[in-house]
Structure 1
Amino acid sequence: MATFLLVHGAWHSGRSWERVVPLLETAGHRVFAPSLTGHGDKVHLAGPGVGLDTHVDDVVRLITEEDLDDVVLVGHSYAGLVISSTANRVPERVAHLVYLDAMVPEDGESAIDVQPLTRRLVELAERSESGWRVPPLPEQPAPFGLFGVTDPADVAWLRGTLSDQPVRCLREPVRLDNPAVDAIPRTHIHNVGATPAGIVRRPVPPVQPNGTAAQVWELPTGHDCMITMPAELTGLLLKLA
């Protein structure tokens, strides 16, 4: 039995994994899919003081309180930053890092550094009435949809789960100063369906930090593959169990 910890991206919540969790559990694995502070059942905790470090604390706390070991830590999109700093804090508890169409940072980088489009979103939020709320990206015509989701029923459901992202999440830097992190194997899953203009993906170096060959898999769908291709995503994750 493997332990999967699925971390959602910006604006989303733990509900984004609803189609994946039962598939992993049916295969006999333990699965956690929490909502980060300010999202989902914790949306009431949103505020200007919520940042990347808050979300890392959320995940580290779950790992330690549940006494989880050998965790397959999956980060979608923005959560690539979250899982990186989490592994920096508790590398001994992480068996594998999975960057799911995710930001892959270096030490000291923020979301703005990894995904330059984010800078414009932050600047707009800081000039807005709240000064800290970054609203979800708007739906675009097919094939882009809402985070790559185009089915009308799925779009309506997804829209109801989204919430604003605090600016501080996108400004705070990742901590990757623990050499033990380099030993953790990584897998990158790229969603290679239609990509909106302005979104960039860093190339994956051919060699992982632990010295082994890079492992990159692809899914022919948009950004939110856990909604559009849950069975196919689950099949890839099960290869790591």
Structure 2
Amino acid sequence: MATYVLVHGGGHGGWCYGPVARILRAAGHEVHTPTLTGLGERSHLLGPHVDLDLHIQDVSAVLHHEDLREVILVGHSYGGMVVTGVADRMAGRVGRLVYLDAATPANGQSLHDVAGPVIDAARPFGEVVDGVELVLLPAPGAGAFYGVTDPGDLAWMDERLTPHPWKCFEQPLKLTDEEALRAIPQYHIVCTSTLATRDPALIERARAEGRLWDIDTGHDLMITEPRAVAGALQEVATR
């Protein structure tokens, strides 16, 4: 039995992993799907204090208080920033690190540094509420921005997506123990369409070492292809 901690991306919440989590739990695995502060069912905690560092603390606290070890730590999209920070700070509890069509930052990089054109396109449609700049504002059919096309999935997402603080996207990641972080085996599950935008050396090395899966679907692949994602995650546990 493996232990998974699945971290969502911008504007989402732990809810987005529901289909994947059900498959993994049915196979006997332990699965945690924390929601980051200010998002999803924790959107009432939104405020000027919410940033990347706080989200790293959110997930680190789950590992600590649940006493989780040899965790398969998974981050989707912006969640790649978060899980990199968590693995850096809690390397002794992380057995494998999985980037699910996610940002793969270096020390000192922000999400804006990694994926500037994509999030810059969303920023003009944001707003400032109580002094907090918010982006990825929910709207009918907003799931299409994440590559979701099924009407049922889009309606499900319409009821759950929440705005995301821009501050999280511009704060640089500060690593404290890169040697320990790099010693953790890293895996990549990506959308076929995003392969060309990724670091070629990183992708080719992962492919050569059997640490790469590409799935031909939209960015929210945990929603559009939950069985393929769950299958890849179970393979990660056996590698």
Asked if these proteins are the same fold (TM beyond 0.5), I'd say: yes
Q: Which residue number corresponds to residue 156 of structure 1?
A: 155
The amino acid across from 1:167 in the alignment is: W
Note closer, same or farther for the CA distance 1:182–1:45 as it changes in structure 2 (3 Å cut): same
How many residue pairs were aligned? 232
TM-score by length of 1: 0.87
Superposed structure 1 runs of 4+ greater than 6 Å apart: 126-129, 137-141
| Equivalent residue, structure 2, for 1:132 | 133
Give structure 2 stretches of 5+ with no counterpart: none
Q: CA deviation at 1:226?
A: 1.0
CA 222–138 in structure 1, closer or farther in 2 if over 3 Å, else same: farther
1:95 aligns with 2:92: no
Query: How far apart, CA to CA, are the structure 2 residues paired with 1:156 and 1:146?
Result: 14
Distance, in Å, in 2 between the alignment partners of 1:73 and 1:16 is 16
Give 1:201's aligned residue: 198
Runs of at least 5 residues in structure 1 that lack an aligned partner in the other structure: none
Q: Does 1:20 align with 2:17?
A: no
Pairing of 1:55-204 with structure 2 (within 5 A)? 55-117=55-117, 118-119=119-120, 121-122=122-123, 125=126, 130-136=131-137, 145-178=144-177, 179-193=179-193, 200-204=197-201
CA distances 1:195-215 after superposition (whole Å, capped 9, x unpaired) = 7xxx9434352447xxx9372
Q: Which has the higher helix share?
A: 2
TM-score normalised per structure 2? 0.88
Name the SS of the counterpart of 2:109 in structure 1: coil
- The one-letter amino acid of 2:30's match is R
Cα distance change, pair 145–48 in 1 and its aligned pair in 2 (3 A): same
What amino acid does structure 1 have at the position aligned with 2:27?
A
